[in-house]
A and B are shown apart, each in its own frame.
Chain A
Amino acid sequence: MHIMEGFLPVEHAVGWTLASAPFVVWSVRAVRARLDEYPEQRMLLGVAAAFALVLSALKLPSVTGSCSHPTGIGLGALLFGPAAMVLVGLVVLVFQALLLAHGGLTTLGANVFSMAIVGSFVAAGVFRASRTFRLSLATSVFLAACLGDLATYVTTSVQLAWAFPDPAGGFVASMAKFAGIFALTQIPLAITEGLLTVLVVNALIRFNADEMKHLPLFLTRGARA
């Protein structure tokens, strides 16, 4: 769920852009350093961005019958790590704005913050924590993708509530309204995306164990095939 073009007041649009900027700069540096070491990953990240975009065109069967699509950010954060995913997420959001009129340029900062930054850090963090608590790989992947998605949705609701506080109930009431109205599509979506990501990772480990060995997060705890 992205905030549409022009929806946020100017001070919020600028504020979220400034909040996202340091993460983007950090990610650009991290990716540059990674490409210096492994030049062949230039292509991989580019193709991964295209993959996330194509994935977002998939229609998932959803309980509420609304059109919901996976973000692929959880999967990407597990495969490439949050440092690269901030940049990949930025490119995906720019493409969604320019090719699909989904999201926008003035709200790019806010959308990058909720999806690429919060989404990928939460997904990677939850995965690490789950593995530390010795949860099974499937459970960890499910929790990471599902909570990453939910964190994106909660952050977007916070952004909207902050920009448009309720005249009577203030921020909290407004948050309840926005979170409630979008929960209808976003909660089933997060669960579906969690399940889908588990299926993807299972299939990858079965058919592509070799490639999985070189991935940052799976390296640390060693995925069992």
Chain B
Amino acid sequence: MLIEQSAYANRWRAVSPAAKGGFALGGLLAAFVANTPTAAAGIALVVVATTLLGARVSPWLYLRVAAPATAFLAVSSLSLMFSISLDASGGPQWQFAPDAVSRIATVASRSLASLAALLFLVLTTPLRDLIVLLRQLRVPEVILDLMVLCYRMLFVLSEAMHDMLTAQAARLGHASARRSLHSLGLLAANLVVQVWQRAQALATAALARNGCGSLRFLSPAFAHARRDTLIAAAASLALIALAGSLDR
């Protein structure tokens, strides 16, 4: 998982998640405040530069993480580029949409600016810290419990899946598309069985330690949390002001 690698290894790993979340929120707001493509592109540029230069996220990794979302953007822009109408005989008629360029520029620049804000947050902050932030924001305990469990089991299950895929491939289980589908069916079924067994084991382990309510962990402490949050708030306001001023 590329995002996890960067979240744990970047320069701003120890900065309080509230500060980083605040700056990402500022970026998202600025992306929507920006009325012109130039303004949104300016915001995207500033946020990307902050991520690459400030948090020292590797540019190569950044591009690889952003690639799938930009592919979605490209495909959707394609459909915005053309317009269908009915001609005199009632058949569909394709033509270039009259305002296509300005429309695509608006949507693409806003999407890229928002994507940059999301990537800033996830590439600098491990999920564990984000869950702490969500707890501070009073997200219901049930949702947090599911997130904590999901995060802990994710890597266990994906290793089990990887092992099964290797074992199946070693026995020519993926030699043809038909066999592959059959093997994947068996794999998913095996994994579902594991879901039950592992959940049962976790429940027994929790019961053995008198755990019968929600799961609680010590929250990590962040040095200079207040100072960093103030700086992030100021930076967010500056971003929003920049989005507003680039409009004119």
Quick one: closest A residue to B177, CB to CB?
A61
Given contacts A58-B188, A102-B68, 19 further A-B contacts (CB under 8 A): A6-B112, A6-B115, A43-B199, A43-B202, A47-B202, A50-B154, A57-B158, A61-B181, A98-B130, A100-B68, A101-B3, A101-B65, A101-B122, A105-B118, A106-B32, A168-B95, A196-B184, A203-B185, A207-B189
Is A32 close to B, CB under 8 A? yes
How many A residues face the partner with a CB closer than 8 A? Answer: 74
- Counting residue pairs across A and B whose Cβ atoms lie within 8 Å, the total is 239
User: Which residue among A50, A87, A90, A92 has the maximum number of chain B CB atoms within 10 Å of its CB?
Assistant: A50
Chain B contacts for A55, CB-based, 8 A: 188, 191
**Complex: A198 Cα to B184 Cα, angstroms:** 11
Residues of chain B whose beta carbon lies under 8 Å from any beta carbon of chain A: 1, 3-4, 28, 31-32, 65-66, 68-69, 72-73, 75-76, 78-80, 82-86, 95, 97-99, 103, 107, 110-115, 117-119, 121-122, 127, 130, 140, 142-143, 145-154, 156-158, 161, 177, 180-182, 184-193, 195-196, 198-200, 202-203, 206, 212, 214
Contact B195 A196 (CB under 8 A): no
Label chain A's interface by main secondary structure.
Answer: helix
Chain B contacts for A101, CB-based, 8 A: 3, 65-66, 68-69, 115, 118-119, 122
Contact A87 B181 (CB under 8 A): no
Q: Which of A10, A32, A99 contacts B4 (CB 8 A)?
A: A99
Stretch of A146-154, A174-182, A217-225 contacting B (4+ beta carbons < 8 Å): A174-182
Chain B nearest CB, measured from A25 CB (Å): 9
Contact B192 A204 (CB under 8 A): yes
14 example contacts (A-B, Cβ-Cβ < 8 A) are as follows A6-B112, A39-B212, A44-B199, A45-B149, A49-B146, A51-B195, A55-B191, A90-B143, A95-B127, A98-B3, A169-B86, A200-B189, A200-B192, A208-B193
Quick one: closest A residue to B40, CB to CB?
A6
Q: Which of B69, B99, B154, B192 contacts A53 (CB 8 A)?
A: B154
Quick one: closest B residue to A76, CB to CB?
B192
**Complex: A116 Cα to B181 Cα, angstroms:** 25
Chain A nearest CB, measured from B181 CB (Å): 6
Chain A contacts for B148, CB-based, 8 A: 46
Among residues 169 to 203 in chain A, which have CB atoms less than 8 Å away from a CB atom of chain B?
Answer: 169, 173-174, 176-178, 181-182, 192, 195-196, 198-203
A8-41 interface bits toward B, Cβ cutoff 8 Å, 1 = contact, 0 = none: 0010000000000000000010011001000110
